[in-house]
Amino acid sequence: MDVFDAVRTVLAVRAFQDRKVPEEVVRKVVEAGRLTASSMNLQPWQFIVVEDREQLKALGAAVRTGPYIAQAAFAVAVAVEKKSTYAVSDASRAIQSMILTAWSEGVGSNWTGFLNLEGASKLLEIPEEYDLLAVVPFGYPAVVKDKGKKNRKSLAQVAHRGRFTRPYP
Ligand SMILES: Cc1cc2nc3c(=O)[nH]c(=O)nc-3n(C[C@H](O)[C@H](O)[C@H](O)COP(=O)(O)O)c2cc1C
């Protein structure tokens, strides 16, 4: 899939088919996270791959804004070093890399969490020096949404040419 097409068509997927994602695709997704650039190349992240159904259910119960994690084929929990100033932006990029890589393989996903992840962090036995930033469930979408039909502000609302006061395009 062309990179722009992936960006254009990817949507938040919150319902998944009861179907396994092949191990090589799971691995490719995690690799996409690992290969992402980070500030000073510090890579202040850890990726926890969860495939066990009972564990996915427990995570779905622990993440208030992501109950559908329970139905995912797998999830990647992303933990960041508390001491790292740039960890949130670094790991956010890694999460986007994983989401787009999965999408290019027909696998949907979505960012869940950010706040209130203490319970999930405990379940995952994440050490004190790390914050759990997100739990990202992955799976084949149950509902085929209109690809690329996005509810976004227009370019004129968010883009400028040269200075803030001049609209783009
Ligand atoms: C930092 C961040 C946190 C998010 N947290 C949640 C969440 O906890 N639960 C959820 O269902 N979606 C979450 N989302 C997904 C957004 O709601 C979604 O990307 C947005 O509404 C756009 O959806 P669309 O791409 O399908 O148009 C989060 C997205 C981001 C970037």
pLDDT tens for the chain, 169 residues long, are: 899 999 999 999 999 999 999 999 999 999 999 999 999 999 999 999 999 999 999 999 999 999 999 999 999 999 999 999 999 999 999 999 999 999 999 999 999 998 899 999 999 999 999 999 999 999 999 987 666 688 999 999 999 999 999 999 8
Whether 86 lines ligand 1, by a CB cut-off of 6 Å, is no
Task: Give the atom of ligand 1 at the shortest distance from the alpha carbon of 13.
Answer: 26
Whether 97 lines ligand 1, by a CB cut-off of 6 Å, is no
- What does pTM read for this prediction? 0.96
Task: Give the atom of ligand 1 at the shortest distance from the alpha carbon of 152.
Answer: 27
**Beta-strand pair 108-109/74-81:** unpaired
Whether 113 lines ligand 1, by a CB cut-off of 6 Å, is yes
Minimal-distance CA residue to ligand 1 atom 8? 112
The four Cα atoms 82, 127, 69, 45 give a dihedral, to 10 degrees, of 50
Buried b (16+ CB within 10 A) or exposed e, 88-113: eebbbbbbbbbbbbbbbbebbbbbbb
